[in-house]
A and B are shown apart, each in its own frame.
Chain A
Amino acid sequence: MTVARTWRTRRQRYSLVGERCDHCHNAIFPPRDVCPYCAEPAQTQMALSGRGTVYSYTTVYDAPAGFGEFAPYPVALVKLEEGPMVTAQLTDVSPEEVTIGMPVEMVTRKIQEQGEEGVIIYNYKFRPQLQRQARAA
């Protein structure tokens, strides 16, 4: 990704900012000019909750250029609470721990470093929902 493209998409990549369709009221991610559900234009920006479940997944062993230092890593289709399906890396989890239906939450992580001297690109990833410890009443 070029510096300009990563800059342009930073809000959706850092914090999962999508849209709510003004006409059919569906949640949309990533943001776009025309609603994929009703084909009407003009959407309202909306930050998605980041909560979802793993719909399906795979493990990338032979990573594309620029992602090699993170391999092997799991990639999943995550069904978001608001409806949209997002393709994203999973993190803080080893590939063998991933299961279909696993509850996950969005975190902002490093996805690529453009060499020693280039920019660092940050992006949403999903991790298993952080477990809260039981509290004494």
Chain B
Amino acid sequence: MAKQNGSVLLRPQRAVGIVGYGAYVPRYRLPASEVARVWSGRMDTLPIKEKAVAGLDEDTATMSIEAARNALARARVDPHRIRAVWVGSESHPYAVKPTSTIVAEALDIVPLTSAADWEFACKAGTEALQAAIALVGSGMADYALSIGMDTAQGRPGDALEYTAAAGGAALLVGPAEESVARFEASLSYVTDTPDFWRRAHAHYPSHGQRFTGEPAYFHHITSAARLIMEETGYGPADFRHVVLHQPNTKFPQRAATMLGFKPEQIQAGLLVPVIGNTYAGSSLVGFSAVLDVAEPGDRVLVVSFGSGAGSDAFIFQVTERIHEVRDLAPRTSDYIARRTVIDYATYARFRGKMLMK
């Protein structure tokens, strides 16, 4: 498995880190019991408490803009010094026309920047992050903005409708000396595993039922986590916080146990019970919740999972600067506390599930 340079780790030549971070979670919440009331009648097996739902006037572009504004407020960097705006999502508003140019324009990062949309199911956001680390780490740029954001789709009545949610986070990558979390190492682990997909003109995704568990989520996420720990020489006890992709409450809890982590290590970043699975935003918004509470010196492991399938693993160490920037923008918990419960009918209207003509 060893690559040419003797390591499977992805590490840039120049030291980099997260210089600003920002979350976004929309206002509306659909309790899982509402989905059960309409479709199954079974209240005993709900995968989460409630999920965040985007309002009628929100989409991946508007949500990315707000998260990115929060990241820039914390970083206090001149937007014109940002050389990349990369948005990972599986709900880009257009099939052809980038979300990233809308975000770059709204934040006054245009025109001297790369802008692109990334796609890899739920790990599109960490793909963008990894590329941003590489861009800054190579010396091609001082700052690169990566975003994972989704307004996830779920087929009415399907198991995924309980959890498919809206939200995400933006991370501005920059030089390590300015960072709130220094980047240590990354690793990607991918195979062609068709556990979940959506064809070009389909409204809703399809999935392989139980096939989404062992061969997809658990295999990729535990392989990536184990390998990055093996290669860096860290063990489970070296991490204060661990964020694993969160399709439901049970999966990340079980994967964490399989990897030797204790429940308190995943606690701060485990948002799925109260906001749902925010797909490409899931592991990044969990990471932003961790950065909201972490202390200097804390080491954080973040592992995404995207169907299709693969995982990106990252190790960061939080720096002293976290205390300076934390309250320059709303915390993840401020967005989670702002909640308006809606019923299934309002949800159906908000998500365009009713045939109007």
Contacts and interface: CB of A to CB of B under 8 A. Distances in A.
B184 to A, nearest CB: 29
Interface stretch (A24-32, A34-42, A74-82, A124-132): A124-132
A120 interface: yes
Nearest to A107: B66
Given A14-B106, A132-B330, A120 B93 contact: yes
Given A14-B106, A15-B107, A131 B56 contact: no
Interface in A107-137: 107-111, 120, 122, 125, 130-133, 135
Interface string B51-89: 000011111011001100000000000000000000000
A94 to B, nearest CB: 8
Nearest to B65: A108
A91 interface: yes
A110 B27 CA distance: 15
A62 interface: no
Interface stretch (B159-167, B185-193, B333-341): B333-341
B330 A120 contact: no
A110 B62 contact: yes
A70 interface: yes
Contacts of A132: 327, 330-331, 334
B108 interface: yes
Contacts of A109: 55, 57-58, 62
A92 B27 contact: yes
B177 interface: no
A125 B66 CA distance: 13
A117 B65 CA distance: 23
B140 to A, nearest CB: 27
Given A107-B66, A132-B334, A15 B106 contact: yes
Nearest to A132: B334
Nearest to A116: B357
A11 interface: yes
Interface string B306-345: 0000000000000000000001001101110110000000
Interface residues of A, number: 23
Contacts of B229: none
B158 interface: no
B27 A108 contact: no
- Specify which of A17, A70, A130 lies most central, judged by the most chain B CB atoms within 10 Å of its CB: A130
Nearest to A124: B106
A15 B104 CA distance: 11
B238 interface: no
Interface string A72-103: 00000000000000000001100000000000
A110 B61 CA distance: 9
B169 to A, nearest CB: 16
B102 interface: yes
A130 B334 contact: yes
B231 interface: no
A130 B55 contact: no
B338 to A, nearest CB: 6
Nearest to B26: A92
8 contacts: A11-B105, A14-B65, A17-B108, A47-B108, A92-B27, A120-B61, A131-B337, A133-B331
Interface of A: 10-11, 14-15, 17, 47, 69-70, 91-92, 107-111, 120, 122, 125, 130-133, 135
